[in-house]
C-alpha cells in the first residue's frame, strides 16, 4: 500500500489574473469581451458569445471539430487564446451561410450526406473552406490528405470527399453550385408544397 | 402505382441537415442558459485504493468557486442499488459517483469543482489536493483467465450460449481442422461530442436537463430515482447527439454530477467531460477467444467450437453475445460454445457498436478463412457450402434471409472470381495485393415504443416520439414514414424527438429504432386515419358514408376512396371542419403480456457479406485498404441515402478496428495511457478509399409491418476479419491479435 | 490550465527583458503545443509573452545564398513558400508530413523546434516522469513505449522529439538564431536539441530567457535528390513511428554528398554523420543503403513495445535513400490507386 498525493503543481492558488477587455472581429462584427487571458478562442466563441456552431471535440488540437478561419486560414480554435486573436478576421460556421442562402459547401454536405451525427460538420466545412482558400488540393488524394485534420467518428469520409470535390470542381470550372440537388427526383414534382391544392395521383 | 407522397425507400436528404451544416443544431453543452455555473470533474490517478483526505479549503477560497463536491459532502441520496440501475445496466451494483472514498478504477470521478466560469472550474480542479492510499490492482485479463466464470442470465436479455450436438465427435469426423486463439484489446467509443450535461434550474427543484444520451427516458429515470425527482421536475432533452455508438446507452458520470450540483446549489450547472475522461467509463471489453473448426471431405463443417473470455468490472457483470452467432451463421450439427467473464479493477464495459458480434465475428470469420485454406476451398465457396437455411440455434426457420444475394452481388461487384488463392500471388506493381472476405449476422429487434401524431388545420402533421437521432437518420426516416402513411408531402411533416415530455421510446441501440419507433409512428398514423375517416363521416361526406378504413387511402394530401380515387377530401379540410385546432392520435400502450410471452415463430436476422482489398508494401509492411464492397441484407431500407452512410461508417469502423483502434492500458498503473485522439487512432480521411454499399432485396412481413431489420450494427460485422484475411492473402502472415499494426507484420 | 497574464511584446529586446524580469513566464508563438500542455497542467507559466508583433514572420534570401526563415513564420507559409518548394523540397515534404493543415497554419517555425515530446507519461500527471518532474522516475521504461526512443536514450528518459520539420532541418544543416539576455548568437542545428542524459527536463541548449528569432538554411538545398519518408499508425495526422529525411548529391550513380537524419527514434532529430560518410563515394545501390542503415541502427536499443522500430528504421532508411536516388517516389500514401478488376 502506498500513499499518493494528487497534488497541485503550485500548492497554493496564485492570484487570479484579472479579466481584460478583448475585442474580437467575428463574421464581420466586433465583439468586446471582458475575459481572462486563459480563455481560448474556442471557449470565447462557445461560452461567452453563444456561437456554439464551432464544436469542442477534444480541446487539444487532435480532432479539428473547432476549426475556424482566421484571416482566411483554417486553425484549431481550441489551441489559440482569445487574447492572441485581437485584430484578426475570424470566420465561424455562423458566418458562412444562412438557412435561406446556404454556402455551396453546406449545400454539398447535405446533398452528399457528408455527416451523420453532425458534430464534426461545422469544423469539416470550415476546414474545407480553408482548403479552397489555400488552393493546394486538386485531386481526390490531395483532398483526402488535406482534409485529414478533421476526424469524423461516424465515418462519413467518402461523402465528405465527394462533397468537397464537387465544390472544388465547380469553383475551378467557374460555375457556382446554384441549386441544391433534388434527391427526390421527378416523382416529387408538385408534391413538395405543404399548402398545395389536392393533386391527382401520378400515372 | 407510385404515389406522389410515397417516400419509403426513396433516397432523402437529412431533415436535420440544414441545422447541422449551419451549426444551429444544439448539443448538450450548447444551451447557454442564464446564470450558468461550470463543473469540472477531478479524476482518480489510481486504479484501486481509497481517498484519505481532501483539502478543499484553498480551492473554496478562490473567488468564484462555489463548491467542491466529493464523497465527504454529498447529501444522502437514494439508498438502494436499484435506484442507480438504469435501463441498460447489467447485473451487479452500479457505480455511484462520489459515494464512498473507495477507488475502484483509474480515472474514477472523485470530486466536482463548481465555479463561475469554465476556466476557473478547470483551474480550481487542478489545484485540489487529494490524498490516497493505493492498493494493488488487477487489470490484466491474460493473468486472470483461470478465475473467469460463466455469467448468469442478466436483465439485459443476455442468453448464455447454447451448445448442440457433440463437438468432440464432429472434430473427429472432420478431415481438415483449424484451431487458434484470437484477441483484441479494449476500445473506446469516442464519439466526437464529449459527454456533457447542462442542467437548467427553473426553480423549486424543477430542472431542464440537456444531456448527451442515446435515451432521454433512461437518463430521466436514473436521476428521478437517485434524486427523488418527479417526472415533471426532471425533464430530459436530447435533440442532437454528437455520436453515440453505445456510449450514451447508460447515463454517464457527468449527468449525476451536474444534477447533484444544480440541486445543491440551486443554480444552472454544466458539466462536460474532457477527452481524457471519455476513457473513464464503458468500453468494448478486451476479449480473448478460441475457435476450433473441422470440415468433412466436401467442405461441410462437422464441428464448431467457440470460446470467449472477456473483462468486466468488480461491481457489474457486463455480458454480450460474443459466441452465440457462431451457432447460427453456418450450418453445423456439432457446436460447442462458451463465454466467461473475469473481474478486473476497471470500469464496467459497455455496449459498443455491434456489441459481442463485432468481437465474435473477428474470431469466427478469421477462423473461417483459415478453415477454407485448410480445406482447399475458396473462402466464399466455403461459406456457401455451409449456408444455413434454418436457424439451428433457435430451431426456427428464418423470417427471411438473403445472405446468398449478399454473397452473389457483393462478389460480382468486387470481382472476387479474379482472385488467385495463394498468399502473395497478386500484385500491383511492387505492392502486394490481398483480397479477403467475411460477414456476419445481427438480430432484428423491436422494442415497445410510443408515438403521437397531430394534424393541424393548415394540413401540417407533427409526429413525436421521445426517441433519439445519434446520426442514424431517425429524424428523416420517421418523417418519411409519417408522410407516406398520411399521404402528405414531406415538407408538411415535422418529426420531434429527444424529450421526455414526448411519448416514451426506448434508448437508441441494438439497431432497433427504425423498427420500433417506425412501427409506432405507423400505428399512430393508422389511428389518425381512422379519426379522419370518422370526421369525414361526421361531415356527411356521401362518398365515405359507409367506408371502412380499409376502403380508403391517404395520398397526395387527401383521403380518398380506393374504389373511386376521384372521391377525395383534403386532409386539412377535415381538421378545419372539425372545429378543433388539430386532430391527434397515439399508438396504443406497450404490448400486453400475451404478446410478450408468445413464443417466436421465426428467427429474425440481418446479414452481410463484405469483400476487402488491401495493398501492402512488401518492405515497409504499411497496409492500405483500397477497396471494400459491403453487401447487406437488412429487410426494407427506408432511406437508401442515410442507410448507405450508416454502412459506410460501419466499414470505416471495421477498418479502424482491424488496423489501428486499441485502448492501451499500462497495467502497472491500471490506466489507459493513450487517452486522447492523438494516440487513440481512428481513421482520418486519407485512410479511407473506395467503399461500395449494396442493399440486397429482402422482403420480410414477419419482422414488423414495415419490414425493417435495422442497420446500425450489421454493416460492421466481418469487416475487421475481412481486412485481416486480406492481409493474410497479401502477405501470408496470419495475425490473430487485432489491431494489425505495422509491428505485427514486420 | 493555471492563471496567467498575457502581453504582446513590442520588440525582440523588450520580449527578452520581459522574460528575464518575470520568473515563470514563457514565450508564445502560435499557441498549439504550449496551450495543449497548459491544458494538461504539464506547463504552468504565470505570464505569457506574445510574439506576434515582433515582425519575425518573413522568409527572405540571406547574404550567403541561403534562406532565412523568421521564427514566427508559420509552418504552412514556410512549406508553401516558393523558394522552399523550389530549393528545399525536403523541408516542404517534412513540414507537410506533420500535424494537420490547421495546426500548420498556427504553428511557427520557432515553435516547431520548441515542441515537447508526445510521451504518454509526460502528458499524464498521474504517472511519474523525469522530464516533467525530475527525479520522479521514467514510466515509459518498462511501460508502453511504442513511440519512444531506440537511439540515444538514457536511464532517465526514453522520450522522442516529435517534429518532422526538425528532421529535415537537421539534414539540411540549418542554423538557429537566438536572442537572449546576453545578446544574439547562433546554434548549429545538431547542437540545438540535446539527448536526455540525466537531465531530461531540458529539451534543448537554449539558455534561460533566450528566444529563437530565426532559422538560416544554407545555400545547398539538395533539390534534386531528397526524400522525407514518414511511417506512422495511420496515413495522416499522426506522429511518426519512424521518419527519415535524406538528401543526396549524385554524379553518375555515385553518391558525392549525403545527408541522413531520423525522426521518432531519439530525444532529438537523429542525424548520423558516420552513416553519411559511408554513403559518400559509393554507388547508390541497395547494398550501400543497407550498410548505411546498419550503421545508423548499430547502437539501437529497444524498450519492449518499440523493439520493432529498429527493423522498421532500417527498412525506412533503405527505402528513403532509394526514393531520393530514383526521385519517382510516392510522395504520400494517398497515391495508392484502386485496382478495379
Q: What is the pLDDT of residues B79-119, one digit of tens each?
A: 999 999 999 999 999 999 999 999 999 999 999 999 999 99
CB A81 to CB C31 under 8 A?
A: yes
* pLDDT at residue B711 in the model: 95
E strands in chain A:
2-6, 20-26, 29-35, 67-70, 73-76, 89-91
Task: List, in order, residues 6 or more apart from A112 with CB less than 8 Å away.
Answer: A159, A160, A162, A163, A166
Length of chain B: 746
Residue-wise pLDDT tens digits, B318-372:
999 999 999 999 999 999 999 999 999 999 999 999 999 999 999 999 999 999 9
Confidence class for position A4, pLDDT limits 50, 70, 90: confident
Cα distances (angstroms) measured from residue A203 to each of B1, B210, B597, B687 = 7, 48, 46, 47
Residue-wise pLDDT tens digits, A72-114:
999 999 999 999 999 999 999 999 999 999 999 999 999 999 9
CB B106 to CB C126 under 8 A?
A: yes
Whether the predicted pLDDT of A192 surpasses 80:
no
Residue B149 DSSP label: B
The domain that holds C233 is classified in CATH as 3.30.390.50
Whether the predicted pLDDT of A185 surpasses 80:
no
A10 touches chain C (CB under 8 A): yes
CB C235 to CB A148 under 8 A?
A: yes
Cα distances (angstroms) measured from residue B344 to each of A140, B100, B307, B312 = 46, 19, 19, 6
Distance from the Cα of B38 to chain C's closest Cα (Å) equals 15
C19 inside domain: yes
C98 inside domain: no
Distance from the Cα of A195 to chain B's closest Cα (Å) equals 7
C241 inside domain: yes
Three-class SS state of C43: coil
Domains identified in chain C, total number: 2
Q: Are strands B91-92 and B316-317 parallel, antiparallel or unpaired?
A: antiparallel
d(CA C276, CA C246): 10
Q: pLDDT 10s digit of each residue in chain C, 341 long? A: 999 999 999 999 999 999 999 999 999 999 999 999 999 999 999 999 999 999 999 999 999 999 999 999 999 999 999 999 999 999 999 999 999 999 999 999 999 999 999 999 999 999 999 999 999 999 999 999 999 999 999 999 999 999 999 999 999 999 999 999 999 999 999 999 999 999 999 999 999 999 999 999 999 999 999 999 999 999 999 999 999 999 999 999 999 999 999 999 999 999 999 999 999 999 999 999 999 999 999 999 999 999 999 999 999 999 999 999 999 744 444 333 333 32
Cα dihedral: B424, B427, B429, B431 (round 10) = -50
Is the torsion defined by CA of B517, B519, B522, B526 positive or negative? negative
Determine the average pLDDT of the residues in B62-66. Answer: 96
List every span in chain A annotated with CATH 3.10.20.30: 20-95
Confidence class for position A173, pLDDT limits 50, 70, 90: confident
CB C101 to CB A6 under 8 A?
A: no
- Domains observed in chain B: 17-24+449-590 (3.30.365.10), 31-136+191-274 (3.90.1170.50), 167-187+283-445+601-744 (3.30.365.10)
Whether the predicted pLDDT of A10 surpasses 90:
no
**H or E element in which residue B353 lies:** none
DSSP assignment of C149-217 equals -SSS--SS-------SHHHHHHHTT-EEEEEETTEEEEEEHHHHB---TT-TT--B-PPTT-EEEEEEE
**B290 beta partners:** B181, B307
What φ, ψ does residue B269 adopt, rounded to 5°?
-140, 140
Helix H, strand E, coil C: the string for B388-436 is CCEECCCCEEECCCCHHHHHHHHHHHHCHHHCCCCCCCEEECCEEEEEE
Whether the predicted pLDDT of A190 surpasses 60:
no
Residue (of B383, B401, B300, B344) closest to B667 by Cα position: B344
Distance from the Cα of A173 to chain B's closest Cα (Å) equals 24
Those chains having 3 or more beta-carbon pairs within 8 angstroms of chain B are A, C
**H or E element in which residue C50 lies:** strand C47-50
CB B685 to CB A161 under 8 A?
A: yes
Task: List, in order, residues 6 or more apart from C183 with CB less than 8 Å away.
Answer: none
CB A58 to CB B194 under 8 A?
A: yes
Residue-wise pLDDT tens digits, B364-423:
999 999 999 999 999 999 999 999 999 999 999 999 999 999 999 999 999 999 999 999
Cα distances (angstroms) measured from residue B272 to each of B121, B255, B275, C103 = 11, 9, 9, 24
Which of B46, B689, B746 is facing C311, going by the closest CB pair?
A: B746
Confidence class for position A183, pLDDT limits 50, 70, 90: very low
Q: Which residues span the domain enclosing C19?
A: 5-53
d(CA A125, CA A55): 12
C270 inside domain: yes
d(CA C129, CA C145): 13
- CB contact at 8 A, B686 and B622: no
* pLDDT at residue C331 in the model: 43
The Cβ-side half-sphere exposure at B161, using a 13 Å CA radius, reads 27
Interface of A with B in 180-199 (CB under 8 A): 183-185, 187-199
Cα dihedral: B525, B531, B533, B539 (round 10) = -150
Q: Which residues of B touch A99 (CB under 8 A)?
A: 18, 22, 24
- CB contact at 8 A, B531 and B525: no
Whether the predicted pLDDT of A176 surpasses 60:
no
The domain made up of A104-172 is a member of CATH 1.10.274.100: no
Is the torsion defined by CA of B411, B415, B417, B421 positive or negative? negative
Task: List, in order, residues 6 or more apart from B443 with CB less than 8 Å away.
Answer: B604, B605, B606
Cα distances (angstroms) measured from residue B732 to each of A70, B143, B370 = 50, 30, 11
CB C6 to CB A9 under 8 A?
A: no
Confidence class for position B157, pLDDT limits 50, 70, 90: confident
Helix, strand, coil shares, percent, chain B, to 5: 30, 25, 45
Q: What is the share, in percent, of chain B residues with pLDDT greater than 70?
A: 98
Residue A168 DSSP label: H
Determine the average pLDDT of the residues in B271-293. Answer: 98
Residue (of C39, B570, B190) closest to A63 by Cα position: B190
Q: Which residues of B touch A185 (CB under 8 A)?
A: 10
The domain that holds C35 is classified in CATH as 3.30.43
Residue B48 DSSP label: S
C240 touches chain B (CB under 8 A): no
CB A75 to CB C237 under 8 A?
A: no
C150 inside domain: no
d(CA B99, CA B50): 12
Cα distances (angstroms) measured from residue B576 to each of A126, B237, B535, B580 = 46, 32, 10, 7
Residue-wise pLDDT tens digits, B166-182:
999 999 999 999 999 99
C128 touches chain B (CB under 8 A): no
Determine the average pLDDT of the residues in A57-77. Answer: 98
Helix H, strand E, coil C: the string for B88-127 is CCCEECCCCCCCCCEECCCCCEEEEEEECCHHHHHHHHHC
A157 touches chain B (CB under 8 A): yes
Residue (of C202, C230, C227, C233) closest to C325 by Cα position: C227
Determine the residue of chain A that is closest to C238 in CA distance: A62
Residue-wise pLDDT tens digits, C99-149:
999 999 999 999 999 999 999 999 999 999 999 999 999 999 999 999 999
Which of B233, B370, B504, B713 is catalytic? The answer is B713
CB A63 to CB B677 under 8 A?
A: yes
B85 touches chain C (CB under 8 A): no
In degrees, rounded to 5, the angle at the alpha carbon of residue B22 between the alpha carbons of residues B467 and B645 is 55
First to last CA, chain C: 55
**H or E element in which residue B683 lies:** none
* pLDDT at residue A191 in the model: 30
Q: Are strands B109-115 and B36-43 parallel, antiparallel or unpaired?
A: antiparallel
Task: List, in order, residues 6 or more apart from B549 with CB less than 8 Å away.
Answer: B526, B529, B530, B533
Determine the residue of chain A that is closest to B277 in CA distance: A58
* Domain finish residue from C53, C69, C93: C53
User: Which residue, among C45, C118, C235, would best test binding to B if mutated, counting the most B CBs under 10 Å from its CB?
Assistant: C235
A138 touches chain C (CB under 8 A): no
C285 inside domain: yes
Residue (of B159, B345, B318) closest to B250 by Cα position: B318
Residue-wise pLDDT tens digits, B507-550:
999 999 999 999 999 999 999 999 999 999 999 889 999 999 99
* pLDDT at residue A2 in the model: 80
Q: Catalytic site residue B580? A: no
Distance from the Cα of C237 to chain A's closest Cα (Å) equals 6
Residue-wise pLDDT tens digits, B548-568:
999 999 999 999 999 999 999
Cα distances (angstroms) measured from residue A152 to each of A91, B276, B571, C52 = 21, 18, 42, 32
d(CA B61, CA A13): 9
Distance from the Cα of A135 to chain C's closest Cα (Å) equals 11
Q: Which residues of C touch A151 (CB under 8 A)?
A: 237
C20 inside domain: yes
C18 inside domain: yes
Distance from the Cα of A185 to chain C's closest Cα (Å) equals 30
Which of A5, A46, A154 is facing B471, going by the closest CB pair?
A: A154
CB A149 to CB C28 under 8 A?
A: no
- Average per-residue pLDDT for chain B: 96
* pLDDT at residue A56 in the model: 98
**H or E element in which residue B161 lies:** none
Sheet containing C59-61, strands listed edge to edge, beginning at the edge strand earlier in sequence:
C59-61, C67-70, C211-217, C175-180, C183-188
Distance from the Cα of B375 to chain A's closest Cα (Å) equals 36
* pLDDT at residue B22 in the model: 98
Residue-wise pLDDT tens digits, B222-235:
999 999 999 999 99
Q: Which CATH number fits the domain A20-95, given the four candidates 3.10.20.30, 3.40.50.300, 3.40.50.2300, 3.30.565.10?
A: 3.10.20.30
CB B192 to CB A63 under 8 A?
A: yes
Q: Are strands B558-561 and B582-586 parallel, antiparallel or unpaired?
A: unpaired
CB A81 to CB C3 under 8 A?
A: no
* pLDDT at residue B597 in the model: 64
* pLDDT at residue A179 in the model: 45
Whether the predicted pLDDT of A184 surpasses 60:
no
Q: Which residues of A touch B27 (CB under 8 A)?
A: 52, 55, 119
Amino acid at each position: 500500500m502506498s500513499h499518493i498525493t494528487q497534488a497541485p503543481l503550485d500548492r497554493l492558488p496564485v492570484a487570479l489574473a484579472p479579466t481584460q477587455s478583448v475585442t474580437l472581429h467575428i463574421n464581420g462584427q466586433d465583439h468586446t469581451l471582458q475575459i481572462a487571458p486563459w480563455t481560448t478562442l474556442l471557449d470565447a466563441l462557445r461560452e461567452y458569445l453563444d456561437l456554439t456552431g464551432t464544436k469542442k471535440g477534444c480541446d487539444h488540437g487532435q480532432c479539428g471539430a473547432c476549426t475556424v478561419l482566421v484571416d482566411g486560414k483554417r486553425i484549431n480554435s481550441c489551441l489559440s487564446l482569445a487574447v492572441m486573436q485581437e485584430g484578426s478576421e475570424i470566420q465561424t460556421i455562423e458566418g458562412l451561410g444562412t438557412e435561406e442562402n446556404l454556402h455551396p459547401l453546406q449545400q454539398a454536405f447535405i446533398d452528399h450526406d457528408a455527416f451523420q451525427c453532425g458534430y464534426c460538420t461545422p469544423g469539416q466545412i470550415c476546414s474545407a473552406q480553408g482548403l479552397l482558400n489555400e488552393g493546394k488540393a486538386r485531386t481526390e488524394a490531395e483532398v483526402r490528405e488535406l482534409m485529414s485534420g478533421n476526424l469524423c467518428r461516424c465515418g462519413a469520409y467518402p461523402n465528405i470527399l465527394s462533397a468537397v470535390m464537387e465544390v472544388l470542381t465547380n469553383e475551378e470550372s467557374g460555375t457556382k453550385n446554384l441549386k441544391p440537388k433534388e434527391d427526390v427526383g421527378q416523382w416529387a414534382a408538385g408534391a413538395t408544397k405543404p399548402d398545395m391544392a389536392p393533386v391527382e395521383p401520378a400515372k | 402505382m407510385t404515389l406522389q407522397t410515397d417516400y419509403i425507400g426513396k433516397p432523402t436528404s437529412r431533415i436535420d441537415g440544414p441545422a447541422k451544416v449551419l451549426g444551429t443544431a444544439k448539443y448538450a453543452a450548447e444551451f447557454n442558459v442564464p446564470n450558468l455555473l461550470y463543473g469540472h470533474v477531478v479524476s482518480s490517478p489510481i486504479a484501486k485504493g481509497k481517498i484519505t483526505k481532501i483539502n478543499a479549503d484553498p480551492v473554496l477560497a478562490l473567488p468564484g468557486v462555489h463548491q467542491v463536491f466529493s464523497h465527504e459532502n454529498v447529501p444522502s441520496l437514494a439508498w438502494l442499488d436499484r435506484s442507480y440501475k438504469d435501463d441498460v445496466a447489467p447485473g451487479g451494483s452500479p457505480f455511484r459517483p462520489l459515494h464512498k472514498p473507495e477507488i475502484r478504477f483509474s480515472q474514477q470521478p472523485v470530486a466536482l469543482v463548481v465555479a463561475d466560469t469554465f476556466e476557473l472550474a478547470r483551474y480550481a480542479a487542478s489545484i485540489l489536493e487529494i490524498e490516497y492510499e493505493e492498493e494493488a490492482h488487477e487489470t490484466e485479463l491474460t493473468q486472470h483467465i483461470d478465475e473467469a466464470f460463466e455469467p448468469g442470465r442478466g436483465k439485459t436479455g443476455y442468453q448464455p450460449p447454447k451448445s448442440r450436438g457433440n463437438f468432440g465427435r464432429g472434430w473427429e469426423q472432420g478431415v481438415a481442422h483449424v484451431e487458434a486463439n484470437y484477441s483484441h484489446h479494449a476500445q473506446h467509443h469516442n464519439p466526437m461530442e464529449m459527454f456533457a450535461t447542462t442542467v437548467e434550474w427553473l426553480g423549486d427543484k424543477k430542472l431542464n436537463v440537456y444531456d448527451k444520451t442515446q435515451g432521454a427516458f433512461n437518463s430521466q429515470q436514473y436521476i428521478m430515482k437517485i434524486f427523488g425527482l418527479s417526472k415533471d421536475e426532471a425533464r430530459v432533452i436530447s435533440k442532437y447527439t454528437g455520436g453515440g455508438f453505445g456510449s450514451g446507452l447508460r447515463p454517464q458520470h457527468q449527468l449525476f454530477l451536474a444534477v447533484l450540483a444544480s440541486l445543491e446549489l440551486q443554480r444552472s450547472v454544466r458539466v462536460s467531460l474532457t477527452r481524457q475522461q471519455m476513457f473513464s467509463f464503458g468500453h468494448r471489453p478486451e476479449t480473448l477467444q478460441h475457435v476450433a473448426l473441422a470440415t468433412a471431405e466436401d467442405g461441410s463443417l462437422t464441428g464448431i467450437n467457440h470460446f470467449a473470455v472477456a473483462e468486466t468490472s468488480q461491481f457489474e457483470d457486463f455480458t454480450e453475445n460474443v459466441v452465440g452467432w457462431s451457432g447460427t451463421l453456418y450450418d453445423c450439427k456439432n457446436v460447442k460454445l462458451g463465454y466467461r467473464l473475469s473481474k478486473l479493477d476497471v470500469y464496467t464495459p459497455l455496449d459498443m457498436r455491434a456489441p459481442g458480434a463485432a468481437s465474435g465475428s473477428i474470431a469466427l470469420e478469421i477462423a473461417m478463412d483459415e478453415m477454407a485454406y485448410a480445406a482447399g476451398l475458396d473462402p466464399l465457396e466455403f461459406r456457401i457450402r455451409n449456408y444455413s437455411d434454418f436457424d439451428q440455434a433457435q430451431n426456427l426457420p428464418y423470417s427471411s434471409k438473403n445472405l446468398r444475394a449478399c454473397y452473389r452481388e457483393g462478389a460480382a461487384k468486387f470481382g472476387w472470381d479474379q482472385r488467385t488463392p495463394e498468399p502473395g500471388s497478386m500484385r500491383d506493381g511492387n505492392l502486394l495485393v490481398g483480397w479477403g472476405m467475411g460477414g456476419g449476422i445481427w438480430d432484428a429487434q423491436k422494442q415497445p415504443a410510443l408515438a403521437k401524431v397531430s394534424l393541424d388545420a393548415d394540413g401540417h402533421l407533427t409526429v413525436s416520439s421521445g426517441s433519439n437521432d445519434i446520426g442514424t437518420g431517425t429524424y428523416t426516416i420517421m418523417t418519411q414514414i409519417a408522410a407516406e402513411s398520411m399521404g402528405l408531402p414531406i415538407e408538411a411533416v415535422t418529426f420531434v424527438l429527444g424529450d421526455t415530455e414526448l411519448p416514451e421510446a426506448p434508448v437508441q441501440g441494438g439497431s432497433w429504432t427504425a423498427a420500433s419507433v417506425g412501427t409506432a409512428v405507423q400505428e399512430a398514423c393508422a389511428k389518425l386515419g381512422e379519426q379522419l375517416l370518422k370526421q369525414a363521416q361526421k361531415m356527411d361526406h356521401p362518398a365515405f358514408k359507409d367506408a371502412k378504413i380499409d376502403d380508403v387511402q391517404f395520398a397526395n394530401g387527401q383521403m380518398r376512396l380506393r374504389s373511386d380515387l376521384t372521391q377525395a377530401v383534403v386532409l386539412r379540410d377535415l381538421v378545419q371542419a372539425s372545429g378543433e385546432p388539430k386532430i391527434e392520435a397515439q399508438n396504443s400502450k406497450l404490448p400486453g403480456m400475451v404478446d410478450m410471452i408468445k413464443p417466436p415463430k421465426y428467427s429474425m436476422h440481418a446479414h452481410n457479406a463484405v469483400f476487402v482489398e488491401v495493398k501492402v508494401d512488401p518492405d515497409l509492411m504499411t497496409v492500405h485498404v483500397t477497396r471494400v464492397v459491403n453487401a447487406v441484407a437488412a429487410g426494407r431500407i427506408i432511406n437508401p441515402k442515410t442507410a448507405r452512410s450508416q454502412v459506410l461508417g460501419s466499414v470505416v469502423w471495421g477498418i479502424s478496428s482491424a488496423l489501428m483502434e486499441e485502448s492501451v492500458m499500462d497495467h502497472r498503473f491500471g490506466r489507459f495511457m493513450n487517452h486522447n485522439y492523438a494516440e487513440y487512432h481512428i481513421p482520418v480521411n486519407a485512410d479511407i478509399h473506395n467503399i461500395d454499399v449494396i442493399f440486397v432485396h429482402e422482403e420480410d412481413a414477419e419482422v414488423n409491418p414495415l419490414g425493417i431489420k435495422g442497420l446500425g450494427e450489421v454493416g460492421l460485422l466481418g469487416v475487421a476479419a475481412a481486412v485481416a484475411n486480406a492481409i493474410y492473402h497479401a502477405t501470408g502472415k496470419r495475425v490473430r491479435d487485432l489491431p494489425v499494426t505495422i509491428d505485427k507484420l514486420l | 490550465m493555471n492563471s496567467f497574464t498575457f502581453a504582446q511584446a513590442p520588440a525582440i529586446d523588450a520580449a527578452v527583458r520581459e522574460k528575464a524580469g518575470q520568473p515563470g513566464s514563457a514565450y508564445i508563438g502560435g499557441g498549439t503545443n504550449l496551450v495543449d500542455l497548459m491544458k494538461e497542467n504539464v506547463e504552468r507559466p504565470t505570464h505569457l509573452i506574445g510574439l506576434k508583433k515582433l515582425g519575425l514572420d518573413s522568409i527572405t534570401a540571406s547574404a550567403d545564398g541561403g534562406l532565412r526563415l523568421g521564427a514566427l513564420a508559420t509552418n504552412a507559409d514556410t512549406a508553401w513558400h516558393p523558394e522552399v518548394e523550389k530549393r528545399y523540397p525536403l523541408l516542404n515534404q517534412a513540414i507537410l508530413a506533420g500535424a494537420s493543415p490547421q495546426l500548420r497554419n498556427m504553428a511557427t517555425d520557432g515553435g516547431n523546434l520548441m515542441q515537447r515530446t508526445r510521451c504518454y507519461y509526460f502528458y499524464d500527471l498521474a504517472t511519474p516522469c523525469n522530464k516533467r518532474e525530475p527525479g520522479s522516475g521514467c514510466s515509459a521504461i518498462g511501460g508502453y513505449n511504442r513511440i519512444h526512443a531506440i537511439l540515444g536514450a538514457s536511464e532517465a528518459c526514453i522520450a522522442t522529439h516529435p517534429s518532422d520539420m526538425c528532421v529535415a532541418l537537421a539534414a539540411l544543416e540549418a542554423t538557429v538564431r537566438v536572442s537572449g539576455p546576453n545578446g544574439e548568437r547562433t546554434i548549429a542545428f545538431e547542437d540545438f536539441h540535446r539527448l536526455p542524459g540525466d537531465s531530461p527536463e531540458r529539451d534543448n541548449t537554449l539558455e534561460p530567457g533566450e528566444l529563437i528569432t530565426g532559422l538560416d538554411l544554407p545555400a545547398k538545398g539538395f533539390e534534386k535528390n531528397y526524400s522525407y519518408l514518414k511511417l506512422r499508425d495511420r496515413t495522416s495526422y499522426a506522429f511518426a513511428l519512424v521518419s527519415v529525411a535524406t538528401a543526396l548529391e549524385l554524379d553518375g550513380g555515385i553518391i558525392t554528398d549525403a545527408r541522413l537524419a531520423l525522426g521518432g527514434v531519439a530525444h532529438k532529430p537523429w542525424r548520423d554523420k558516420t552513416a553519411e560518410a559511408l554513403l559518400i563515394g559509393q554507388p547508390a545501390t541497395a547494398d550501400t543503403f543497407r550498410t548505411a542503415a546498419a550503421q545508423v541502427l548499430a547502437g539501437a536499443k529497444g524498450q519492449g513495445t518499440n523493439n520493432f522500430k529498429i527493423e522498421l528504421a532500417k527498412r525506412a532508411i533503405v527505402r528513403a535513400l532509394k526514393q531520393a536516388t530514383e526521385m519517382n517516389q510516392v510522395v504520400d500514401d494517398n497515391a495508392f490507386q484502386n485496382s478495379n478488376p
